[in-house]
Homo-oligomer: A and B are copies of this chain.
Amino acid sequence: MNTKDRKHREMQEREAIILECARPMFIEGGYNGLNMDRLTSMLEYSKGTIYNHFSCKEEIIITLAIQTLEKRLAMFEKASLFQGTSRERIAAIGTAAELFVKLYPDHFRVEQTIRLDSIWDKTSEERRQVMSNCERRCIGIVSGVVRDGIASGDLNLNDSATPEEIVFGLWSLSFGGYSIISTSNSLQELGISEPFQMLRHNYSRFLDGIQWKPLSSEVDYDAVFERVSEEVFGNELQQITT
Contact = CB atoms under 8 A, between A and B. Distances in A.
How many monomers of this chain does the complex have?
4
A31 interface: yes
Nearest to A165: B198
B199 A210 contact: no
A118 B113 CA distance: 12
A20 interface: no
Contact of A172 (B33, B132, B173): B173
Contacts of A187: 168
A168 B198 contact: yes
A164 B161 CA distance: 28
A208 interface: yes
* Majority-rule SS of A interface residues: helix
A168 B172 contact: no
Interface string A176-209: 1101100111110111100100110110111111
A141 to B, nearest CB: 13
Nearest to A204: B209
A206 B117 CA distance: 33
A191 B164 CA distance: 7
Interface in A22-46: 28-33
A12 interface: no
Shortest 7 CB-CB distances between A and B: which pairs?
A176-B176, A209-B209, A205-B209, A172-B176, A172-B177, A169-B202, A30-B117
Interface of A: 28-33, 109, 112-113, 115-118, 132, 135-136, 139, 143, 161-162, 164-165, 167-169, 171-177, 179-180, 183-187, 189-192, 195, 198-199, 201-202, 204-210
14 contacts: A29-B117, A32-B32, A112-B112, A116-B116, A135-B184, A139-B186, A168-B202, A169-B205, A172-B176, A172-B202, A174-B176, A204-B209, A208-B208, A209-B210
Given A31-B31, A116-B116, 11 more contacts: A29-B117, A30-B31, A33-B118, A136-B189, A164-B191, A168-B180, A169-B173, A173-B176, A176-B176, A207-B209, A209-B209
